[in-house]
Amino acid sequence: MSACLLAINAGSSTLKFRAFSADGQTLLARGMVDRFGAKDARLSLADAKGQQLDERGLGDAAHDTALAAVLHGLADQGLEARALAHRVVHGGSRFLQAVKIDADVRAALDDYIALAPLHQPVSLEVIDAFAGLDSRLPQIACFDTAFHAGQPAIATRFGIARHWHDEGVRRYGFHGLSYAAIARRLPEVGLAHAKVVVCHLGSGASACAIESGQSVASSMGFSAVDGLMMGTRPGYIDPEVILYWQEHEGMGVKDVRRELYKNSGLLGVSGISADMRELLASEQPAAREAVELFCYRAAREAASLAAALRGLDALVFTAGIGEHSAEVRARILQQLSWLGFELDHAANLAHARRLTTAGSRLPAYVLPTDEEGEMARQAARLL
């Protein structure tokens, strides 16, 4: 039996995992539990190259049943989990790097549920379920907020009374594990010390200004609702809209939260789907408008982050839409052509690493993200 480090990325209905060597450097296996928490949950397991190793129905909605199946599935392939690394969306101002989870840390993580109500509870449920299966198994929390902890103080403030900032109402930034993974890869394209805007475009979407591998500013702020338009989240919205909903539509906190997290973004604007692929294939005017707004907001935010950097050397696309949608990339780069981006259409359609022509004043790239790999590397340093 070979020891492995298991990186866990838990979502509301899907749990993705990857098994790495104990030093966090080598991918050994990957898999997911689809419809996580439902009675028709299914486990799939593949090797490092994506070759299917196992697939089975779990027949139980309980989290601990699904997680035990993950451990048993790995054991069937000769892999024994010796430690777990969890993606935890919010670490607030306290957790500025990965940390081993003990009783005090676990209790403190509850404090940030209100700041990440869509993501934080699921991660904590999974942590608790694994602890119930084997309390001796080391668990490490890896935070999406940590990469942004070194931002200039001015980039963390809202224009509100000072005491609110002191009480934690400030900009944090998210998708930090993804940005850390991209920052690690920037030297591959000669951008180790460059000023770069990275667009993480998926069902959740954000952008980050990175200089010399460090976060300078981010589109997301206090929560994962802010910034770019997303699959079901609106991105930036005038706060007065929320007051209007409450005062004139009689909406309570739960109603507003549902509207912001579940009913907005691509789904809300199109009235059709939160899936960019469906909207790009649709002839419906509302679908086209949703795509246009998504790209417009991404380009506008990228330009804003260039101002935070006081210059720009390159743009990088990553995550599901950023890595796989040539049309979305083309629209964003066209909107930003005034900055000096000249799209190479053939390279873009081929999903090449470099998207711009040799004569383009500024280059744009596609770099695959690797959140689980970043988690494994961070966790390995603590073991």
Spatial separation of the C-alpha atoms in residues 72 and 69, rounded to whole Å: 5
Using a 10 angstrom Cβ sphere, with 0-12 exposed, 13-18 middle and 19 or more buried, the burial of residue 182 is buried
| 9 assigned ligand-binding residue | yes
| Catalytic residue flag (residue 144) | yes
| 276 assigned ligand-binding residue | yes
Residues in the chain, total? 383
Reading the block at residue 282, the tokens are: 């649709």
CA dihedral 112, 168, 208, 328 (to 10 degrees): 60
Kindly report the number of other CB atoms within 10 A of residue 339's CB atom. 17
For strand 195-201 and strand 314-318, is the pairing parallel, antiparallel, or unpaired?
parallel
Spatial separation of the C-alpha atoms in residues 230 and 59, rounded to whole Å: 32
| 275 assigned ligand-binding residue | yes
| 332 assigned ligand-binding residue | no
Terminal C-alpha separation, the chain: 19
| 91 assigned ligand-binding residue | no
| 322 assigned ligand-binding residue | yes
| 87 assigned ligand-binding residue | yes
Spatial separation of the C-alpha atoms in residues 323 and 202, rounded to whole Å: 9
**Among 296, 307, 319, which Cα is nearest to 198's?**
319
Task: Quote the longest CA-to-CA distance of the chain.
Answer: 62
Q: Which residues pair with 207 in a beta bridge?
A: 199
| 288 assigned ligand-binding residue | no
Reading the block at residue 378, the tokens are: 């961070």
| 371 assigned ligand-binding residue | yes
| 125 assigned ligand-binding residue | no
| 53 assigned ligand-binding residue | no
Reading the block at residue 30, the tokens are: 């990957």
| 201 assigned ligand-binding residue | yes
| 323 assigned ligand-binding residue | yes
Kindly report the number of other CB atoms within 10 A of residue 285's CB atom. 9
| 321 assigned ligand-binding residue | yes
| 273 assigned ligand-binding residue | no
| 320 assigned ligand-binding residue | yes
| 301 assigned ligand-binding residue | no
Spatial separation of the C-alpha atoms in residues 330 and 253, rounded to whole Å: 38
Catalytic residue among 111, 144, 166, 238: 144
Residues identified as active-site? 144
Residues of each annotated binding site: 9, 16, 87, 200-204, 275-277, 320-324, 371
Residues of each annotated binding site for substrate: 87
Residues of each annotated binding site for Mg(2+): 9, 371
